[in-house]
Amino acid sequence: MSDVVQTQRDGAVLTVVINRPERRNALNADVARGIVAALDAAEADREVRCIVLSGAGDKAFCAGGDLQPAADGSPFTIDAADPKHYVADLLRRMDACRLPLIAKLNGHALAGGLGLVSACDVVVAREDALLGVSEVKVGLFPMMILPYLLRTIPYRLMMELCLTGEPITAADGVADRLVNYAVPAAELDAKTAWLANRIATKSPTGIRLGKQGLNRIREMGTDAALEYAQFMLANMARTEDAREGFAAFAGKRAPNWTGQ
């Protein structure tokens, strides 16, 4: 694993930490590769059922692309001979992740950092963490992350963020469901662990297939989505986890998930 991305396993939960506090955990190609490698390793480990993504320190979750002079891995260039942008590749990989992703906002999530938040499934944040897209202040627009902002932020709020470049607090973001939970800094670890445990104790097969289905349904029209959904539901009902879930419900006991 890269030094700029560190991981720690606690039972069924893997925490992935962007470790560039001196750069406010800014994104670069090494960070993107490190997160992708962590997701790959987590999916290969059948004991991991939930992933928490956070940043080092207490200042920033991720401040987006590194704007400092001589910053390595500029997010604002692309090789014409190989037009694969590492931010786009990272967002696609997060989107395809079969495990639930929790964004744990230890600090501010700005620009591309808000893109990472939007690519996660649920969010727990410090109530004073700032969320925003400041690109307009340097003559840009948050193009790369727009598909994910559109999924998670009400349109008018998203446009205000994009057009003004001014952030909102995580506490304010709760009302628009941009953030699931906003808590005092001292309660962040406990609240994240509480949510991760609630997820990790549920059917891994149901979650894995559910996320797969949701990703496809999101891109479909209503009729196609309904037709696809009925086949997915029937297939899910044939899994070992579904049979165990029904049996546990009938027997009034806790289920013993196999992940099959």
Residue 222: which residues within 8 A CB-CB, separation 6 or more? none
Which CATH number do you get for residue 196?
3.90.226.10
Domain count within the chain: 2
Helix 29-44 vs helix 86-96: crossing angle, to nearest 10: 20
Query: How far apart are the C-alpha atoms of 181 and 165, rounded to whole Å?
Result: 23
The single residue of 43, 47, 127, 135 carrying the catalytic annotation is 135
pLDDT at position 65, please? 87
The question of whether 135 is a catalytic residue gets the answer: yes
Do 185 and 238 fall into the same domain?
no
Tokens of 205: 């097969």
CA dihedral in degrees (96, 34, 122, 172; nearest 10)?
A: -130
Do 221 and 123 fall into the same domain?
no
Instruction: Please report, for residues 131, 150, 162, the alpha-carbon distance to residue 166 in angstroms, rounded to integers and kept in the order given.
Output: 9, 18, 8
pTM of structure: 0.92
pLDDT at position 72, please? 53
The tens place of each residue's pLDDT in the chain, 260 residues long, gives 569 999 999 999 999 999 999 999 999 999 999 999 999 999 999 999 999 999 999 999 999 987 665 555 455 566 655 567 899 999 999 999 999 999 999 999 999 999 999 999 999 999 999 999 999 998 999 999 999 999 999 999 999 999 999 999 999 999 999 999 999 999 999 999 999 999 999 999 999 999 999 999 999 999 999 999 999 999 999 999 999 999 999 999 999 998 88
Do 135 and 223 fall into the same domain?
no
Enclosing domain of residue 163: 5-200
